[in-house]
Amino acid sequence: MTTTANRTTARTGDPAVRRKRLSRPVAFAAIAAIFVTFTAASSAPSPLYVVYQQLWGFSAVTLTVVFAVYVVGLIGALLVLGALSDHVGRRPVLAAAIGLEIVALVLFLAAGDVPVLLAARFLQGIATGAALTTLGAALVDLNPPHAPGRAGLVNSVVPPAGLAIGSLGTGALVQFAPGPTHFVYALLLAGMAVAALVVLVMPETSGRRPGGVASLIPRLGVPARLRGAVFALVPIIVASWALGGLYLSLGPSVAVGVFGLANHLIGGLVVTLLCGTGAVTAFALRTWPTPRVLTIAGALLTVGTAVTLVGVQTGNVVFGAVGTALAGIGFGASALASFGTLALLAAPHERGELFAVALTIAYVAFSLPAVIAGLAATSAGLHLTTVVYGLVVVALGLAALAAQRVRRA
């Protein structure tokens, strides 16, 4: 009994401190809320890009660079820090990520030119990459035994929901609130301060184990027993996140340049229509069999993007909106099937690294085509770039459907 008590004290510290920790159900909800805050913060600058362009007069190439540095920081963090919380614990990594996010938000508040904006976005990318894998793993750690799929559902719903909230909220603040390039970051700073307090009182869900320094060496690994299941998800992850990259990087610009919608709230709604629909879909389909959800994802990503392209070609806003909503259903179904599957497959010591693999694939697909599209928009024009990008997404959606058929066969 003494030995057990000593082990417990070593793991949690003084018993009085342990009593102050949040209960596991409350901690689960708090982690989900922090997850939303991080993803909302990541999409908040998107409706502001047009404002920054007007204020500082930079080109579409510069806009693409601003988008790209965020993703470089995020993917770098996924590669280097993705498995760190499996070794040192979830709380230290989360605390560091929140601290770095606060620094980035302060830089956003102070930004008066492109270099400061670039620095802020780069640091935000690192903070977000470190946080996402750790938050996803912590949710699985805290998953209630009576609802084994809940963590997977939250991991599926939160990313599109947070992106939608960040874009729509920023669009509304830019249109109606004072200080459009400052107020949103002040609100996010307050949210991050609350998140820091939560981390102080949340229980640690992953014990320390050797190999923390070695885990910093960039590598992506999938356990052999999981490779078939993970590789089968790659086509649909690439298709859905490539579409998300188009909307978050060029969506508000397309609303202005192609459809003539200059209202900043509309710019935010463009992203929200895709991501918000995705979040609702992920929740609505949570009890459906994964193969059926994957089929819905591939089909509606393809059809929705094709309908959106009809709207772009004809300048018809209704087609553009309907197509975006259909593609949003596919986006949400893809997130549900892919991250929900990973949450159920991974063992506790594999969670951080496996989520890092999936998120790295997602964000490479999210960023690389969008960066290429941003550069192409300068020379080929926004309209042609959007059409070509959309056709690539349609092709990826068809490839995802074909991969699912081959996998089932």
Please indicate, yes or no, if residue 374 is contained in any of the structural domains: yes
Q: What is the per-residue pLDDT across 122-157, written as a single tens digit (0 to 9) for each?
A: 999 999 989 988 998 899 889 888 877 788 788 878
Please indicate, yes or no, if residue 62 is contained in any of the structural domains: yes
Q: Tokens for 83, please give them.
A: 């498995």
Please indicate, yes or no, if residue 162 is contained in any of the structural domains: yes
Q: What pLDDT is recorded for position 220?
A: 65
- How far apart are alpha carbons 5 and 285 in whole angstroms? 44
Please indicate, yes or no, if residue 5 is contained in any of the structural domains: no
- Domain of residue 272 covers 19-204+225-408
Q: What is the CATH number of the domain that holds 188?
A: 1.20.1250.20
Element (H or E) spanning 226, and its range? none
Q: What is the pTM of this model?
A: 0.75
Please indicate, yes or no, if residue 211 is contained in any of the structural domains: no
- How far apart are alpha carbons 362 and 358 in whole angstroms? 6
Please indicate, yes or no, if residue 234 is contained in any of the structural domains: yes
Q: What pLDDT is recorded for position 14?
A: 45
- Kindly give the parts of the chain with pLDDT less than 70: 1-19, 214-215, 218-221, 252-253, 256-264, 267-268, 343, 346, 348-352, 409
Query: How many structural domains does the chain have?
Result: 1
Please indicate, yes or no, if residue 13 is contained in any of the structural domains: no
Q: What pLDDT is recorded for position 26?
A: 92
- How far apart are alpha carbons 200 and 173 in whole angstroms? 31
Q: What is the per-residue pLDDT across 256-281, written as a single tens digit (0 to 9) for each?
A: 666 666 666 776 677 788 888 888 89
Q: How many residues are recorded in the chain?
A: 409
